[in-house]
Structure 1
Amino acid sequence: MPDRINHSFQQSHGVLNDENLMTNEKWQAIIDNDASYNNQFFYAVKTTGIFCKPSCKSRVPKKENVRIFSNAHGSPYHLHRTFKKMKGITPVEYIQQVRLNAAKEYLIHTNKAIADIAICVGMPNTSYFITLFKKKMGHTPAQFRQMSKREEL
């Protein structure tokens, strides 16, 4: 049943996930960053999370990680709305959640400096990282680390 649901979702959202749809021509367009294919299809790379037109100037991905889409619905608002409907939170909130959960793991299991942890989780602005962490977790990263060490005892 999940395969049927997934397939139905893919069809209704323009996912061309069939092996036959990743043609040598489309693959070459991706490798060559060929702008003449921009309105014919889009592609996403599972491992990096990028979503591009064929002309996107990114590193050439592994072919097995690429998924082809017939359209992108053209609107960031549509993406935002769809994501929120599926996950219950906005894309930004989701990314923050993932980053802060990773930060908690670093705080518990390493002695890395707070600034280094912020960079490791994709937040190079340390003061913003500390402010967001406190807002979402109720404690600063340093307080969280101290509390987790006390709980180990």
Structure 2
Amino acid sequence: MSTAFVAVIRVDDLPAADLPGLAAAGAVAVHTLHDLAACTEPDDAIAVLADPGPAQLLEPVLAALEGTPAAGLAVTSVRPVTDTLKRVGPDGGLNGTADREHHRFVTLPVATRLGLLREARRREPTAATTGEILASLAAAGATVVAAGR
């Protein structure tokens, strides 16, 4: 099973010091969201959206996506919520505290097939936050699943 993938980062600048981590993780190319259209890798290539920096969180999303059909799935990282969550009613008043065990923080990295990411960017070219990108992937037909704790 190949671990090669195309890494896509959200920022417009590629800090050279941060690229070795992605290369060591198996990235065959690194692009920004802005220059994604210029990427010549095939649509069925795995694309991972990540912030520049350590690549240790890539393994769970890559493992969840590898071996799946060429289209239709996006895997997002999640981690436990550590902050107190308050329930807010329709009137804006506090209605209690939510159980953190039933909630997760959705974060990068996000893995999907490059063609699906291209379609999501075509539909929502200004999507920049993790939530906006996941929403545009869902609008493009992706089923979004979680990897992590």
TM range (shorter): under 0.3
The TM-score with structure 2 as length reference comes to: 0.22
Greater helix content: 1
Greater strand content: 2
The TM-score with structure 1 as length reference comes to: 0.22
